[in-house]
Amino acid sequence: MLKEAVEALDVQAEATYVDTTFGRGGHAKRILGQLGPMGRLIAFDKDPQAIQTAQTINDPRLTIRHQGFAALSQLPPHSVAGVLMDLGVSSPQIDNPERGFSFRQDGPLDMRMDTSQGPSVHEWLAEAKTDQIAQVIRDYGEERFANGIAKAIVARREAGQLPSTTLGMAALVAEVVKTREPGQNPATRTFQAFRMFINHELDELQQALEASLDVLQPGGRLVVISFHSLEDRMVKQFIAKHSREVYDRRMPFAAAPALALSALGRQRPSDEEVKANPRSRSAIMRVAQRQSLGVSA
């Protein structure tokens, strides 16, 4: 949703914008193409490879920060006219087996977006308790076979056979998950859960959403593209929380508090985009606009 997301930002030529997940630069380059000489783009990414790609762009209007998007809170209050969040894992990350995101290609069971920090999935599984593993798979993957998968992982570990590769883990999960939606790999939900947990994705998203209220100027746009229900639910609830009038029943004649956001709607990818890029089929883009300042968030 490259074109749609940048259009939703309503880019003003001399304003400042934030791309919280640079990825391989598709959104960033399109935003830069609409900025004037005094316009600015601040791009975040935890992935060292994404940072390397960003550094090849010779444009003084672009500032690169090797940080997760929770670092949005470090920007000055009311300093940006738009924030774009393109959530989840990028296609280059999935397509590189060495990153360990894909259950279709063999590689190390890693899944870290920032490979310079924190434990890999394999390192975590080597120490985690059965109930911890089950809770992660259940909460982040919404997997109904979570308990069985966790028990199978620990049993393999105790036998000295904990899978260290993506295909090895996918095969283990497939032994437990006997039924799955047509066309979906049995390991889909488990791999999603491990990735989101090891990268603290939902925690970072919540922090970034809250920070957007502080850094956006009045009239500034928040554009969020999510790819599964957990992310989209969080974004939907956040926008709803700050865009709906709530009256105190104890004071029925008191004026409702001013709203922080105005919801501008949601959008799915076009049929043409889904045909060209099947990975986009689950994408949902939500857009909101910052209202007046001085609003309690």
pLDDT above 80 (res 294):
no
The pLDDT of residue 228 is 87
pLDDT above 60 (res 251):
no
Please state, in angstroms and rounded to a whole number, the distance separating the CA atoms of residues 287 and 44.
20
Average pLDDT, the chain: 90
pLDDT above 50 (res 201):
yes
Sign of CA dihedral 271, 275, 281, 284: negative
Determine the average pLDDT of the residues in 183-188. Answer: 86
The pLDDT of residue 276 is 82
Place of tokens 């434990």: 119
| pLDDT per residue as tens digits for the range 31-48 | 999 999 999 999 999 988
pLDDT above 70 (res 296):
no
Residue 227, both tokens: 């790819």
Determine the average pLDDT of the residues in 66-81. Answer: 94
Quick check: 145 and 187 in contact, CB under 8 A?
Answer: no
The pLDDT of residue 250 is 62
| pLDDT per residue as tens digits for the range 102-130 | 888 899 999 999 988 899 999 999 999 99
Characterize the bridge pairing of strands 16-19 and 80-86.
Answer: parallel
Quick check: 109 and 120 in contact, CB under 8 A?
Answer: yes
The pLDDT of residue 181 is 74
| pLDDT per residue as tens digits for the range 160-173 | 999 999 999 999 99
CATH numbers and ranges of domains, the chain: 2-91+201-290 (3.40.50.150), 115-198 (1.10.150.170)
The answer for residues whose C-beta is within 8 angstroms of residue 156's C-beta and 6 or more apart is 162, 163, 172
| pLDDT per residue as tens digits for the range 8-19 | 999 999 999 999
Please state, in angstroms and rounded to a whole number, the distance separating the CA atoms of residues 231 and 229.
6
